[in-house]
Structure 1
Amino acid sequence: MPVARRTDVVLFLIALVWGSSYLAAKTATGALPVTTVLFARYAISALACGALVASCRRARRWTRAEVRAGSLLGVTQAAILVLETYGVAYTSAANAGLIISLTIVLTPFLDRTASSRRLPWTFFVAAGLCVLAVGLLTSSGGLHALRLGDALVLAAAVVRAGHVALVGRLTARHPMDPLHLTTAQTVVGSALFLVPALMHMPDLAHSSATTWSQLIYLALFCSVFAFLAQTWAVQRTSASRASLLLGTEPIWAVAIGISFGGERLTVWASLGAVLMIAGTYWGQAIERTHRTATAETAKTAKTVEEDSTCPTPTPTSV
């Protein structure tokens, strides 16, 4: 199989497992408390990452920057999963997967490098389209106050956007090993959820094989595999193509929620799903085009400036 096609397959698999994570989390939280599910997910991920680090023959030494950044990102990542997992426990997996995709249009507002550039007005139209989509998704059965689950997932989307922007800032300062960062985050997450999960350890130990399979799936596939595979794939394709394929996550969330979770979308919710997917894709394309154009303009301006400061060669007499 050609490298390009293999890379596309990996990116589709990442989007698929992320899309399926909402139904898996919803099912797991039906059997165990949220904090216990999160502790198990983090602990299994930490063990897997530790095994990978130990098996690397040419492992690079940990740096203080990796430990500091990994610890901070571990806290923000834990906040995302708390909001997301509690949210999906009180709403549908399809709704959760669609609302969390707001991260795509929220990130440029929180990213310092992106906010320093004036985004086109069309980007704000796309963002407004996504807000309208959230309204349709959360009030498809009639006008009512925002449901708890939908509100928590919406908050998770905001925190996730801030987390993505923070990752960009921290990794831009120092080169960091993705495996080291992931390991640090999983260790921090395990520590954060250990105490709340202690009283429910007997329930975790006596969980059914189905529940354990869901926990292992969330840890190994939706966390460890997805992060490391994403790093591998992005290095072998363009950022635009990667973001396009990873952007299919909400589509998978809806498809899996309906096919395997028995969920249903009303007419208005279906319209909201279409608007959400269209708005996020549109906003993503606008931001990407604007970022590329700005980078090229800055590069051209720098070249002109360097040319203007070059000393003019003095003609020599013969």
Structure 2
Amino acid sequence: MPAIQSRIRLVDLLLLAVAAVWGSTYLAAKELVTPSTVMAILALRFVVTAVALLPVCLRRLRAARRDEMATGMLFGAILAVVLLFETFGIAHTSATNAGLIISLTIVMTPILDSAVGRSWLPPQFFIAAAAAVVGVGLLASGTGLHPPTAGDWLVLAAAVARAVHVTVMHRKSARKQYDSLTLTYVQMATAAVLFCAVSPLAGVPAWTVASRLGPGLWVVLLYLALIGTVFAFFVQMWAVRKTSPSRVSLLLGTEPIWALLVGVVLGGDRLGIYGAAGAALILVGAGWGQRIERKHREEKEKNGSAVAGSGIPERAEEGRPVAG
């Protein structure tokens, strides 16, 4: 029993460490990028990530099917769009704003997924989502009411793109015998290739930026690639096998709290009264929405299992016939 409890504590601590790392990456990226080097920094980050993961993934890549590779490349292209919006946004707003606004993905993803699947969420979820959106408006106002900056809008677009990415991943890979590690590697490699190809056309080329980075900025870049991506990915993959997906989601959902702490304590960001109220609304709305969605999904799965076990066919969705 003590051994099991120790393992649970270790899993929780490592997941909280991943959430803290992800929360800190906004400030790290803020220190690293300028509007003219966004593409180059993204290219370097994902080249380092792809090279670091290649020894682990090489055997799996050799065994991958053509459709599996094509799916991973599609995911990688969408991921590149997410990172493009997010990193350009970070270059034009504060690390705190970026970390909190991007957390809206938590409420945007279930809305998009339910719309695609024609299975609507409870009304309380939309109240939570509305609270989070109002929070974004207040957060962007900072010390006084004014419209969001261009960077805030770009990060909000990144949150929408993240929701699309997660939904497409689920729809394209569900019930298919795809290898998670292979899909992840192909995504990252695809993003690296795209950023390397585009960086000479949209700012300073990646190789030029690489030659100009000082030791301190290389440390930040390696932190983003090796700790923020490789380490975080392996911990997440390991933890899912050791605990429940709900627990993983709950602990990783603390990312915006860490982003807020890192931005204020280390980055020197100042929220003001409106910004503080907005941050609180985002955290409460996103967390509440996440709990409502998880409970709704678990009840739906439980009811579906009960219907399947009874031998009674499930009722078809409106406008769709019952299969078979």
TM-score by length of 1: 0.90
In 1: Cα distance, 2:108 partner to 2:219 partner:
33
| Residue type at the aligned position of 2:53 | C
Match of 2:54 among 50, 54, 58: 50
In 2: Cα distance, 1:265 partner to 1:212 partner:
30
In 2: Cα distance, 1:47 partner to 1:59 partner:
14
Aligned to 2:68: 66
Pair 1:254-2:260 in alignment: yes
- Contact 1:83/1:156, CA 8 A, preserved across alignment: yes
Aligned to 1:4: 8
1:177-218 deviations in Å (ceiling 9; x for gaps)? 222112211221111111333453223213101111111111
In 1: Cα distance, 2:219 partner to 2:85 partner:
22
Aligned to 2:319: none
Give the SS at the match of 1:118: coil
Taking the TM superposition and a 5 Å limit, the aligned residue runs for 1:234-245 are 234-245=240-251
The percent identity for this pair of structures is 44
1:219-271 deviations in Å (ceiling 9; x for gaps)? 11112221222121112111221111101100110111112111111111111
- Contact 2:129/2:289, CA 8 A, preserved across alignment: yes
| Residue type at the aligned position of 2:267 | G
- Contact 1:25/1:85, CA 8 A, preserved across alignment: yes
Shift of the 42–59 alpha-carbon distance from structure 1 to 2, 3 Å rule, reads closer
Q: CA deviation at 1:304?
A: 2.3
1:107-157 deviations in Å (ceiling 9; x for gaps)? 011115884323111001000100110110111233333210000000000
Which deviates the most, 263-272 or 120-129? 263-272
Tell which structure's C-alpha radius of gyration is larger. 1
| Residue type at the aligned position of 2:258 | W
Taking the TM superposition and a 5 Å limit, the aligned residue runs for 1:1-318 are 2-30=6-34, 33-54=37-58, 61-112=63-114, 115-198=117-200, 199-200=204-205, 201-305=207-311
Q: CA deviation at 1:80?
A: 0.6
| Residue type at the aligned position of 1:121 | P
Aligned residues: 305
In 2: Cα distance, 1:28 partner to 1:178 partner:
30
Shift of the 65–173 alpha-carbon distance from structure 1 to 2, 3 Å rule, reads farther
- Contact 1:108/1:114, CA 8 A, preserved across alignment: no
**Uncovered stretches (5+) of structure 2, i.e. residues with no partner:** 314-324
TM-score by length of 2: 0.89
In 2: Cα distance, 1:237 partner to 1:132 partner:
34
- Contact 1:19/1:253, CA 8 A, preserved across alignment: yes
Which deviates the most, 62-71 or 285-294? 62-71
Q: CA deviation at 1:101?
A: 0.4
Which deviates the most, 3-12 or 197-206? 197-206
| Residue type at the aligned position of 1:277 | L
| Residue type at the aligned position of 2:88 | Y
Give the SS at the match of 2:24: helix
Q: CA deviation at 1:31?
A: 9.4
| RMSD between aligned residues | 2.0
**Uncovered stretches (5+) of structure 1, i.e. residues with no partner:** 308-318
Give the SS at the match of 2:271: coil
- Contact 1:178/1:228, CA 8 A, preserved across alignment: no
In 1: Cα distance, 2:46 partner to 2:197 partner:
13
